[in-house]
Structure 1
C-alpha cells in the first residue's frame, strides 16, 4: 500500500530540518537504498535513503523548505498503485498534511509537463545547490531551474558547466546607502548564532593567558616529519601536539574536565577534545574521543579525516555532538592572540595563537625564542580561577616537554 514518508530526525533533539534538494520526482521509480533527498541539518547534509521500493506519487515539500521533524514530505506508491491510492492516503491523513502539495501524480497526468525555466530577477536556489555552485565555480544564472516554480536544485547545478570566469555578485541598489546582497542563513549559521548568543549572554566567562616556549616542540616535530617524509604517513602538525597536550592536562587535572548543568556538575570520564574546523557554512567542532589514550599519530590521522569530512558536510551527529573540552586554533592564520566563546555544556575552550619569534630571558640572558600565546576561556560557575590556572600550567608543561606527548 501507499506509504507516507516523513521528515526524519537527522540530529539528536532536532525539531526542524531543511529539505535541501530532491533526487527523485513524481513518477520516478525507487529502489531500496536509493537516495530520495538531501536533508540539511544544523551541521551537515544527510542523504535520505528509501527503506522500500516503489514509485514517487506525491511531494509535499519544495527544495529549500524548512520542515518540522515528523511532518509528511512525500508519498511512495507500491507496485500497481495509482493516483487514486495517493488520494485515499491523503484523505486518511488529512489532519497531518498541508493542503497545498508540491507535486502529485494526478497533476502529472492532467497537465502536460512544463519546460523548466529560470526565474526572472532574483535567483531562487536551494542551499545545497548554492553550495555546489560555489564549490564548482558555476554561475547560478546559467542554470535552468527544474524545481518548483523554477527553483534551482542540486541536479541543475550538476548538469551545468563551470563558468569561464567568476560572475559578478548580484547587488541591490538602495537609495542613499551602499549596495549590498543578501545571503540567506544556512541551518548551520542560524544554529551557531543562537548557541553563541546564549553562551556569551548566560555564561560568566573569565580568561587566562599564558605564553608557551615552542623551541623544543618545533624541533621535535621537524625531526619526526623528516624521518617519515619518505613514507605515506601524514605529517604531524603543531595542532596535533596541542590536542594531545590538552588531553594529558585534563588527565592530570580531572577537576577541569567538567561541564555545567543547572542540576549538577558533569564530570567527564575521558578527554573528548572538540577541534574547531571552518567550513563554507560556518564553524563545526568534530570530536577526538578518548584523546588521552591515543597516540600523537593516531590523533593526527583522526583530525585530518574529521576535518575533511566536516568540510564536505559528511559528519554524523555523534562525531560533532558532545565533547568535554574545545580547542580553537587561529595561529595558522597569523592571529597572535584571541579569546574564544565557550561551547556549552562544556566549561572551557582554549584559543591558540600563532608561534612568534620574540625576545625572552633564559638563564639571565636575553635570547630569541619561539613563543605561542594561548588564552583559556572558562565558565566561572564550574571552574574557579586557581583550578583554571592549575590546568593551564599543566598544559604549558606538556607543550614545553614535548617528548612526553609522543606515543
Structure 2
C-alpha cells in the first residue's frame, strides 16, 4: 500500500508551503506522528508529521521549493523493499494536450530544482539564449541590458497546464498566459487570469539599471499581501503626547518589560470602550468578548504580531509568561498560526529608535485600531498615534481613548 504525504494546510490563507528539510531518507522507517519534514509557512517553520507508520518512499519533493497545499511531497509504504523500489526524486512534469486541460489534473510531486534554485535567498538565473554567432552575441551584450532573472516559484509557467477557457479569456484580455501564476493545483484557471487582469501593474524596469528578481521570504510576501488587503479600510490618525517615566519606573519595579506594560495599559483602556474591540464585516459589526492584543515584533525579515490573549482579564504574571514563550517561538521560527492571528487591537512600538519622533501604523484587517508609539523627545514626552477604522471609530471616540490611556500612564496603580 502506497499513501501520499501532502503539503499540509497550516492556515486559512496558506496557498503554498516551502519545503525546507527532510528528516528521513527514502527507505527509512517512520512512526505515526513523527516529524518527517519541515515546512516554512508565511510566519514560521513547522513540522510535517507522518499520518501512519511505515517506510518513507519517493519520489520526494525537492527541498527549497514552493509547493501548493494538498499536493503530494512524498509517500509512505508498508515495506522497506517497496520504498527502495520507488525513485527517490520525482520525474519531470509534462503538460497534457499541449498544455491545455478540461478538468483539474491529478497533482504530481514538485520536480527537483536546478542547482541555481536551491537557495531561497538567491535569484534564479534564466539560461542565456544561444546566439547565432560570437559576433551577434557580443553585439547583443553591448546594446541591451542583461535579461532579468525569474523565479520559477513566482511566475514561470512555461510548463503549466491551462484550461481552454482561461486561455481564451487571457487572449480576450490581451494578457500573456506565460506571465500568469497557476493556481494551487498547478493549473491556470479563469480565476487566475481575472486576478492577473485586476492586479496592480508592476513597474516597468527595462529602461533602468540591470536587475534580477529574487524570491522573497514567505514572511515578507505575507506582509505584502496583508498590507494590500488593508487598502479598502478608511483610516484616520490622531495623536497625543504623554510622559512615559512613571510607566518605565513601575514596569522595572514589577520586573516586566515595557512592551508588556504598554500592552496591559492598552488592553485595560480598550476594555473600557467596547468600540475599540469591534471590527467591521460585511455582515455587520463583530463585537469581541475579550481583548486580545497583537504586538508587532521585528524578525529582520518582516513583522509578526504575537497575540496576548485576554490581556485585560488575566493576571499580569500569566501574561508575562505567555509573552516570554511567544518571543521564544518568534526567535526560533516556531510560532504557529494560533499564536499570531485574531488580535482585536494592535500595538507597534518603535521607541527603541531615538530618531523616530512620530509615525503612523496601518490598521490590520480584523481590527479597528492600532497604536503607534515613537521615541521620547528631548522634553521627555512620547508621541502616541492612533490609527482607526472610520467605519467603526469616530474622532471623538479616539480622543477619549487617548485621554483615558494618558491618565492610565500617569497613575500606575493598575500594574499588578
- After TM superposition, the score normalised by the length of structure 1 is 0.71
> Which residue of structure 2 lines up, in the alignment, with residue 22 of structure 1?
22
Separation in structure 1 between the aligned mates of residue 369 and residue 383 of structure 2, nearest angstrom = 17
> Which residue of structure 1 lines up, in the alignment, with residue 38 of structure 2?
38
Distance 1:218 1:13, change over 3 A: closer
Residue number among 391, 398, 405 corresponding to 1:395 in the alignment: 405
> Tell me, what secondary structure is at the counterpart of 1:11?
coil
Distance 1:248 1:48, change over 3 A: same
1:215 to 2:209 alignment: no
The alpha-carbon deviation at position 266 of structure 1 amounts to 0.9
1:195 to 2:217 alignment: no
Residue number among 351, 359, 366 corresponding to 2:372 in the alignment: 351
The alpha-carbon deviation at position 185 of structure 1 amounts to 0.4
> Which residue of structure 1 lines up, in the alignment, with residue 191 of structure 2?
none
1:95-115 superposed Cα distances (whole Å, 9 cap, x missing partner): 524287559xxxxxxxxxxxx
More moved, 51-60 vs 70-79: 51-60
1:120-171 superposed Cα distances (whole Å, 9 cap, x missing partner): xx5732469xxxxxxxxxxxxxxxxxxxxxxxxxxxxxxxxxxxxxxxxxxx
- RMSD of the TM alignment (CA)? 3.0
Separation in structure 1 between the aligned mates of residue 292 and residue 362 of structure 2, nearest angstrom = 18
> Which residue of structure 1 lines up, in the alignment, with residue 2 of structure 2?
2
Separation in structure 1 between the aligned mates of residue 243 and residue 110 of structure 2, nearest angstrom = 65
The alpha-carbon deviation at position 178 of structure 1 amounts to 6.6
> Tell me, what secondary structure is at the counterpart of 2:352?
helix
1:51 to 2:51 alignment: yes
Aligned length: 318
Distance 1:221 1:14, change over 3 A: closer
> Tell me, what secondary structure is at the counterpart of 2:322?
helix
1:308 to 2:308 alignment: no
> Which residue of structure 1 lines up, in the alignment, with residue 260 of structure 2?
240
Kept in 2, the 8 Å contact 1:280–1:311? The answer is no
Kept in 2, the 8 Å contact 1:75–1:86? The answer is no
The alpha-carbon deviation at position 275 of structure 1 amounts to 0.5
Kept in 1, the 8 Å contact 2:5–2:73? The answer is yes
> Tell me, what secondary structure is at the counterpart of 1:351?
strand
The alpha-carbon deviation at position 186 of structure 1 amounts to 1.4
> Tell me, what secondary structure is at the counterpart of 1:332?
coil
Kept in 2, the 8 Å contact 1:2–1:86? The answer is no
The alpha-carbon deviation at position 332 of structure 1 amounts to 1.2
The alpha-carbon deviation at position 259 of structure 1 amounts to 0.8
1:252 to 2:272 alignment: yes
Which runs of structure 2 are paired with 1:108-257 in the superposition (5 Å)? 119=115, 122=116, 124-126=118-120, 183-199=214-230, 201-222=231-252, 224=253, 235-257=255-277
Separation in structure 2 between the aligned mates of residue 301 and residue 84 of structure 1, nearest angstrom = 47
Residue number among 384, 389, 398 corresponding to 2:394 in the alignment: 384
Kept in 1, the 8 Å contact 2:220–2:302? The answer is yes
Separation in structure 2 between the aligned mates of residue 71 and residue 11 of structure 1, nearest angstrom = 15
Residue segments in structure 2 that go unaligned for 5+ positions in a row: 91-103, 123-204
More moved, 4-13 vs 297-306: 297-306
> Which residue of structure 2 lines up, in the alignment, with residue 329 of structure 1?
349
Task: Judging by fraction of residues, say which structure has more helix.
Answer: 1
The alpha-carbon deviation at position 206 of structure 1 amounts to 0.4
